[in-house]
């Protein structure tokens, strides 16, 4: 039986993963595939809680933010929930799923706030994506884009933090042949063209007439 493909867009906040996720779904549909977009934190209960935590809505007494280990466990739990609730049923129904963030986000963001090896352990046995596309972009440009888009300040938005996350992304991507690195600082259309080319190459789509 054939299954859908799991394609993931990754990158630091402001790298354009949300836009390119939607555009890839559009492309897949144009090619005659059934495709849907999804994202992490997911639309499920743990994803909902995570979005509140990211916005600083659940402080400890004294204003201290939620511990990094707790974040790692919540993201890992949200992923299992996301897989069971949305991704697995869709893939089984031969639907392609394009996710705005997935496993790699945990490996690069939580590695900076909890023990790296323990974070990697939590990722063990989780379904790997069929293709991950990393949008690599300078931290300063990503910050400008977030500002222009009027996005609220979130937990991981400090340039110093995102600089380390960006390094982690590059390091992991270079060591993993299933990840394609694209220049996220290019125009939206250029990035979409490169992402489409990466999908076509990975899945050997026939040339369009």
Which residues make up the interface to ligand TYD (CB under 6 A)?
13, 18, 40-41, 54, 75, 101, 105-106, 109-110, 154, 156
Tokens describing residue 99: 């996710």
Nearest distance from C-beta of residue 16 to ligand TYD, angstroms: 11
- CB of residue 21 vs ligand TYD: minimum separation in angstroms? 10
Nearer to ligand TYD, 94 or 176 (CB): 176
Burial label for 139, CB within 10 Å (0-12, 13-18, 19+), is: buried
Q: How far is the CB of 13 from ligand TYD (least distance, A)?
A: 5
Nearer to ligand TYD, 94 or 127 (CB): 127
Nearer to ligand TYD, 105 or 168 (CB): 105
Please say which residue, 32 or 125, places its beta carbon nearer to ligand TYD.
Answer: 125
- Rounded least distance, CB 203 to ligand TYD, Å: 24
């Amino acid at each position: 039986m054939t299954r859908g493909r799991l394609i993931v867009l990754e990158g630091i906040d402001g790298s354009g993963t949300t836009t390119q996720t939607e555009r890839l779904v559009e492309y897949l549909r144009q090619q005659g595939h059934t495709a849907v977009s999804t994202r992490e934190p997911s639309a499920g209960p743990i994803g909902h809680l995570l979005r509140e935590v990211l916005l600083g809505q659940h402080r400890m007494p004294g204003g201290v933010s939620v511990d990094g280990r707790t974040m790692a466990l919540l993201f890992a739990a949200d992923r299992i929930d996301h897989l069971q609730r949305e991704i697995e049923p869709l893939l089984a129904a031969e639907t392609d799923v394009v996710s705005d963030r997935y496993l790699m986000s945990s490996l690069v963001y939580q590695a900076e706030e909890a023990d790296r090896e323990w974070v990697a352990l939590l990722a063990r046995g989780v379904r790997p994506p069929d293709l991950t596309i990393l949008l690599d972009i300078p931290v300063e440009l990503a910050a400008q884009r977030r500002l222009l888009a009027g996005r609220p300040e979130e937990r991981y938005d400090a340039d110093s933090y995102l600089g380390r996350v960006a390094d982690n992304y590059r390091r992991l991507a270079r060591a993993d042949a299933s990840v394609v690195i694209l220049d996220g600082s290019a125009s939206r259309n250029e990035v979409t063209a490169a992402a489409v080319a990466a999908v076509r190459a990975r899945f050997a789509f026939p040339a369009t007439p």
